[in-house]
Structure 1
Amino acid sequence: MLGWAIAIIALAASMITSPIWIPIAVFFSLILAFWLAVIYAGLRLFGYWEIVYQKGDDLYEWLIFKSDKPRKIIWKSFYNLLCRFTFKRNWKVMNYGYAEHSEKGHIIDLDPEEETERYQYQMYHYIASGLKKFQSLSGKHILEVGSGRGGGLAYITKVLSPISAVGIDYSQTQIDWCNKTYNIPNLKFAYGDAEHLPVHDSCVDIVINIESSHCYGNLKAFVEEVKRVLKPGGHFLIADFIDRQELALREDTLNSCGLQLIERKDITENVILALNLDEKRKINSINSAPKIFRKILREFAGTENSRMSKSFNAGNTGYIAYHFMKPKSSEELTFS
């Protein structure tokens, strides 16, 4: 009741004083708009606009994809906000999707309620099956790091039948949403940092990481944590997009932590195909959102003419999947 009383008083006060603060706000907004226009015109006139624009673009790339702590904070805040302001219960999977050059790009059968996010579920199936090497995860304890909205892990739990499945995410808002949304006995979600996993040593058979590692400030710390929690002989399945100029450095990091590379697969063409096949659905969904959010959602979803779509098609960004294995103790022994 106290909260309602305060809210009513605040609303009444703002309405009563609106003849004062609204003109002031408009006045200063006009001044700000004027000076921004002057600065823009000056930069254009003296030929500095392209330089400033490029520096801004470089800063964006560094903050979102290359920085350490700022990157983690930005992505965490973004996913918290996205979850709070997105109320669609049928949006359960977040990745660019996977398709093959078959009829409609289909590789699996799905329930009707999953069909709208077919290509996203296909990405999960492709990666979690060990890039098509595993028919089942029966008898396995699996961990997904960066579980997002949980739909992918729920699908894996239902279809590939592990003993247990745990999803860890850095967004508490998404974790709360998942625990309210899914009611599967051997599936649970928990808050955690990929670089400091809240998991005991050598207790997981398979770690899955799909389109999440680009959010981490320290990839090496994450991979070392994966090695720590995996049982000897356990599997690490990871897929993500990467600037091809950064690919060698990324792979050096992945290969430096004592895990054995079983398979590497460039699936960029499969992702581009999925994006093209899924374009109409994504645009229709985005157009149902408030107009102010549509541009950022188009970029996030990788729709046609978005930064990511252009980069994939130009060959500047790749999408690579890896299957690593933690060596068994005897395989780790070395002799001088």
Structure 2
Amino acid sequence: MGAREDMYGLFTSVNEINLTDDQSGQSAKEGVHKKNISTSYDLQARMSKKGILWNWGYHDEQVAKEINARIPGFLDYDTDGFSEELYFAALREVPIDLDDYADKFVLEVGCGLGEGLNFLSRVIHAKTMVGLDLSEQAVNRANAALSRAGLRYVQGDAENLPFEDGEVDVVVNIESAHNYPRLEKFLQEAARVLKPGGFFTHVDLYTTQRHAFLKELQAKDLGLEWVVERDISSKVQAAIHQRLSPDGSFHKALREQRVGAIQRHMAKRVGPEAVGGSFAGYTDSGSTKLLKKMGVLPSQFMPPVDSYRLYVAKKI
């Protein structure tokens, strides 16, 4: 199977997971979905530039100032900071002081290449920090580049977490759960591994259907008390707009890449979708529309995202 087929499989699965009104049937196809998703992210792990975080970002001047206060000069080098701001925004909503993590176990589910958790390890100084991802290639790369005392990465399934009951103090989940066929099973697993009084902080993109399903699950007795709900769409869109501006990091990266004119043209036309362009109001260029019509590109990369939300829950 080639890269094109891998990506088509990912888009097909993500769209089906997030646009299905009846979520009860997802378990029957979870094997196919997980294979499509892990294969695609294995490919992306091999291709991604060092330091990449796989999320659409978030921008708020106050959050940026708080990051710079804890890590002076952080935003001056090597990053536009928006993906890191998303992680910081998710963690600061947990009702634990950032200086009180010395005895804590922090687990990130869906850690990708591990850069987000590595960033959080500079913000807080937790006793144990573990990142988990379905992609073996992503985990291998994260361990090779980032693991050290107190920080490691493991391959595993968000719907079957390889941790003991009540082992974790904080579960972090950033722009990953839209890939999970059985969202209810993931929430049950997050609650299972948390200590009583522990916290789950979750941010993700939501279609209308997927958000309605989440609200149904929140009304169930899953062992979680939902204590924070924020629609952060405008903050995410602000980051996307800055990234896609002529002087933003997206076009800067294109200018720095040593690729031919055709590849650069294609990336310039198609790439904005990967960083949330459609959610921020960007529309396809004429060439992209033509490639979709010809079947060279999938007709729909991502499902129509209705909102981007942040939630925090407490283990009862």
Given the two structures, how large is their TM-score scaled by the length of structure 2?
Answer: 0.74
**Which residue of 2 is the match for residue 241 of structure 1?**
205
Once the two structures are aligned, what percentage of the paired residues are identical?
Answer: 26
Taking a change above 3 Å as real, the CA distance of residues 188 and 296 of structure 1, as seen in their structure-2 partners, is: farther
Taking a change above 3 Å as real, the CA distance of residues 224 and 178 of structure 1, as seen in their structure-2 partners, is: same
**Which residue of 2 is the match for residue 72 of structure 1?**
34
> Which stretches in structure 1 are left out of the alignment for 5+ residues?
1-56, 328-336
Q: Which amino acid aligns with 1:84?
A: R
Given candidates 122, 130, 144, the residue that maps to 2:93 is 130
Query: Shift of the alpha carbon at 1:115?
Result: 5.0
**Which residue of 2 is the match for residue 268 of structure 1?**
233
**Which residue of 2 is the match for residue 12 of structure 1?**
none
Query: Shift of the alpha carbon at 1:61?
Result: 2.6
Instruction: Determine which structure has more spread, i.e. the larger CA radius of gyration.
Output: 1
Taking a change above 3 Å as real, the CA distance of residues 206 and 105 of structure 1, as seen in their structure-2 partners, is: closer
**Which residue of 2 is the match for residue 95 of structure 1?**
55
Q: Which amino acid aligns with 2:189?
A: E
Distance 2:51 2:87 in 1: 17
Do the aligned partners of 1:140 and 1:162 also contact (CA within 8 Å) in 2? yes
Taking a change above 3 Å as real, the CA distance of residues 189 and 104 of structure 1, as seen in their structure-2 partners, is: closer
Distance 2:250 2:128 in 1: 32
Taking a change above 3 Å as real, the CA distance of residues 59 and 131 of structure 1, as seen in their structure-2 partners, is: closer
Query: Shift of the alpha carbon at 1:159?
Result: 1.6
Map 1:314-333 to 2 at 5 A.
317-327=306-316
**Which residue of 2 is the match for residue 84 of structure 1?**
46
Distance 1:114 1:65 in 2: 39
Query: Shift of the alpha carbon at 1:60?
Result: 7.6
Is residue 276 of structure 2 the alignment partner of residue 302 of structure 1?
Answer: yes
**Which residue of 2 is the match for residue 62 of structure 1?**
16
Q: Which amino acid aligns with 1:222?
A: F
Distance 2:14 2:34 in 1: 14
Report Cα offsets for 1:227-276 as digits up to 9, x if no partner: 11001111000000001343222222244212001111110111011111
**Which residue of 1 is the match for residue 6 of structure 2?**
none
SS in structure 1 opposite 2:79?
helix
Distance 1:276 1:65 in 2: 25
Query: Shift of the alpha carbon at 1:76?
Result: 1.4
Report Cα offsets for 1:205-228 as digits up to 9, x if no partner: 000000000000100010111111
Distance 2:282 2:217 in 1: 23
With a CA cutoff of 8 Å and minimum separation of 6, indicate the structure with the bigger relative contact order: 2
Do the aligned partners of 1:286 and 1:297 also contact (CA within 8 Å) in 2? no
Query: Shift of the alpha carbon at 1:324?
Result: 0.2
Query: Shift of the alpha carbon at 1:190?
Result: 0.3
Distance 2:128 2:163 in 1: 14
Identify the range of structure 1 (147-156 vs 127-136) with the bigger mean alpha-carbon deviation: 127-136
Taking a change above 3 Å as real, the CA distance of residues 262 and 103 of structure 1, as seen in their structure-2 partners, is: closer
> Which stretches in structure 2 are left out of the alignment for 5+ residues?
1-10, 21-25, 284-303
**Which residue of 2 is the match for residue 232 of structure 1?**
196
- What's the C-alpha RMSD, in Å, of the aligned pairs? 2.9
Identify the range of structure 1 (114-123 vs 155-164) with the bigger mean alpha-carbon deviation: 114-123
4+ residue segments displaced more than 4 Å: 57-60, 63-68, 103-107, 112-115
SS in structure 1 opposite 2:81?
helix
Query: Shift of the alpha carbon at 1:85?
Result: 2.1
Map 1:150-299 to 2 at 5 A.
150-256=114-220, 257-279=222-244, 280-286=248-254, 288=257, 291=263, 294=267, 297-299=271-273
How many corresponding residue pairs?
A: 263
Distance 1:298 1:126 in 2: 23
Distance 2:145 2:39 in 1: 21
Taking a change above 3 Å as real, the CA distance of residues 117 and 65 of structure 1, as seen in their structure-2 partners, is: farther
Taking a change above 3 Å as real, the CA distance of residues 278 and 99 of structure 1, as seen in their structure-2 partners, is: same
Query: Shift of the alpha carbon at 1:90?
Result: 2.9
Do the aligned partners of 2:108 and 2:132 also contact (CA within 8 Å) in 1? yes
Query: Shift of the alpha carbon at 1:177?
Result: 0.4
More helix by share: 1
Do the aligned partners of 1:65 and 1:215 also contact (CA within 8 Å) in 2? no
Is residue 72 of structure 2 the alignment partner of residue 108 of structure 1?
Answer: no
Do the aligned partners of 2:14 and 2:178 also contact (CA within 8 Å) in 1? no
Query: Shift of the alpha carbon at 1:153?
Result: 0.5
